[in-house]
Structure 1
Amino acid sequence: MSKGGGTLVLDAQGLSLQVDGDEQMRARIKAAELNGRRVALSALTPLEVRRSGQAGRRLTFLLSRFDVKPVDEAVLRTAALLLDMTGLDGHECLVDAVVVATAALCVPPVRLVTSDGSHIPKLCAAAHELPQQPAIGLISV
């Protein structure tokens, strides 16, 4: 079996679906892993998906399996550029920009799982315009 490599990045909705046991999300992640893709997310994403009880334990387990990327200087710099390029601002856009910046800095090919149909696509288009950044494919959930 040939390994495709690359990265599958989860935003809050993607991670939330996985935590809640959504069969389609489970299948996406399993297929990604079988094809040699890393499953990654921003360190901010688990804060958006906080859970308690059994779901909280499942979230902790999943985070131990996934590549949780830090919000470091490179991510912050890239997120700021994306916000400037798109003219977006505000709290919601800031988190989306950090998620897209995280994706832009992952090993290509990169696919981002999201339910956002407004900010994320604009930010991904802007990320593709940055020097040496891969195109980020979107998977809508």
Structure 2
Amino acid sequence: MAHRKLSHEGTLVLDSEGLSKLLDDDETVVALVMEARSRGMEVVICAPAVIEAVHARTNRARPDRVLSGLRVVPVGEEEARAASSLLMEAGSHGHEYAIDAAVAATALRQQRPVAVLTSDIDDVAKLCGTRIRLIAV
């Protein structure tokens, strides 16, 4: 995993696909999260991404165990307004981009440097520009 060159300290933000793969014990994602923690990075996820990642086939006890090791960031009015502003700046709107915008807004408010583990590289890049590092899941 060292080839990913994560920073020492800072924050790793997961999107819903990152969490989904972590819940499924995907070796690459598990190793990346372990590396981030070993480098002193905090691992976070925004609350709406949790909603998107957990589904009927998810082992019911697994999300509780995995989420206990992450900081789940709530999305209140202030965060929703920030996400909405990002969407407007990117020229996007609607439910198709809403969770990506919440992930991006969450990432932009974390301790730097920030890396986002995402399946939506293009969408998150439009929302965050070069302010964060994107890692494809």
Using the size of structure 2 for normalisation, the TM-score is 0.89
Q: Aligned in 2, Cα 1:124/1:86: closer, same or farther, shift over 3 Å?
A: same
- What is the match of residue 134 of structure 2? 138
- CA-to-partner distance for each residue in 1:4-43, whole Å, 9 max, x for gaps? 2110000011000000010010100000000000000001
1:71 alignment partner, one of 66, 69, 75:
75
Tell me the secondary structure at the aligned position of residue 55 of structure 1: coil
2:10 alignment partner, one of 6, 11, 16:
6
Quick check: 1:109 aligned with 2:105? no
Moved over 4 A (4+): none
State the one-letter code of the partner of 2:92.
L
- What is the match of residue 122 of structure 1? 126
Q: Higher mean Cα deviation, 47-56 or 9-18?
A: 47-56
2:30 alignment partner, one of 26, 30, 33:
26
Quick check: 1:17 aligned with 2:13? no
Structure 1 alignment gaps of length 5 or more = 129-134
- CA-to-partner distance for each residue in 1:54-80, whole Å, 9 max, x for gaps? 623111111111000010233112112
State the one-letter code of the partner of 2:98.
L
State the one-letter code of the partner of 1:69.
V
Residue identity over aligned pairs, in percent, reads 39
Quick check: 1:39 aligned with 2:46? no
CA RMSD of aligned residues (A): 1.6
Tell me the secondary structure at the aligned position of residue 16 of structure 1: helix
Using the size of structure 1 for normalisation, the TM-score is 0.86
CA shift, 1:118, in A, is 2.8
Q: For 2:68 and 2:127, how far apart are their aligned partners in 1?
A: 28
- Is contact 1:75–1:105 with CA below 8 Å preserved after alignment? no
CA shift, 1:51, in A, is 3.5
* Structure 2 counterparts to residues 72-91 of structure 1, below 5 A: 72-91=76-95
- What is the match of residue 60 of structure 1? 64
